[in-house]
Amino acid sequence: MVRYLITRLGQALVVVVIVTVIAFLILHLLPGGAARATLGKEATLEQLAAFNHEMGYDRPWIQQYGMYVQRLLHGDLGYSYQLNQTVVEAISQRLPKTMVLSLLSTLLAIVLAIPLGVIQAVRRNRWPDYAITSLSLLAYATPIFFMGLMMIILFSQVWPILPPEAPQGFTVAEVLADPAGLVLPTVTLAIVTIAVYSRYVRSAMVDNLNENYVRTARSKGLSERRVVLRHTLRNGLFPIIALLGMYLPALFSGALVVESLFNFPGMGQLFWQAALKRDFPILLGVTVIISIATVLGALVADLLYAAVDPRVRLRRSTT
**What does the binding site for another protein look like in residue numbers (CB under 8 A)?**
31-33, 36-47, 50-51, 81-85, 89-90, 93, 108, 111-112, 115-116, 118-119, 122-123, 128, 149, 152, 156-157, 160-165, 168, 170, 178-183, 187, 223-225, 228, 259-265, 269, 275-278
Phi first, then psi, for residue 167 (nearest 5°) are -55, 140
Distance in angstroms (rounded) separating the CA atoms of residues 80 and 77: 9
**Nearest distance, CB of residue 93 and another protein, angstroms:** 7
| 122 or 298: CB nearest another protein | 122
Task: Identify the DSSP state of 262.
Answer: T
- CB closer to another protein out of 196 and 275: 275
* Residue 31: half-sphere exposure toward Cβ, Cα within 13 Å: 0
**CA quadruple 264, 265, 267, 268: dihedral sign:** positive
Which residue number, 86 or 203, has a Cβ lying nearer to another protein?
86
CB of 222 to another protein, least distance (A): 9
CB of 30 to another protein, least distance (A): 8
Would you say 102 or 269 has its CB closer to another protein? Answer: 269
- The Cα 259–Cα 264 span in angstroms is 5
Name the 3-class secondary structure at 216: helix
Report which of 107, 304, 292 is spatially closest to residue 190, judged by C-alpha positions: 107
Coil, helix or strand at residue 75: coil
Compute the least distance from the CB of residue 68 to another protein, in Å: 20
Cβ proximity to another protein, 214 vs 300, nearer residue: 214
Distance CA 246, CA 250 (A): 8
CB nearer to another protein: pick between 142 and 260: 260
The CA angle 226-227-228, to the nearest 5 degrees, is: 90
CB of 197 to another protein, least distance (A): 13
**Minimum CB–partner distance for residue 244 and another protein (Å):** 19
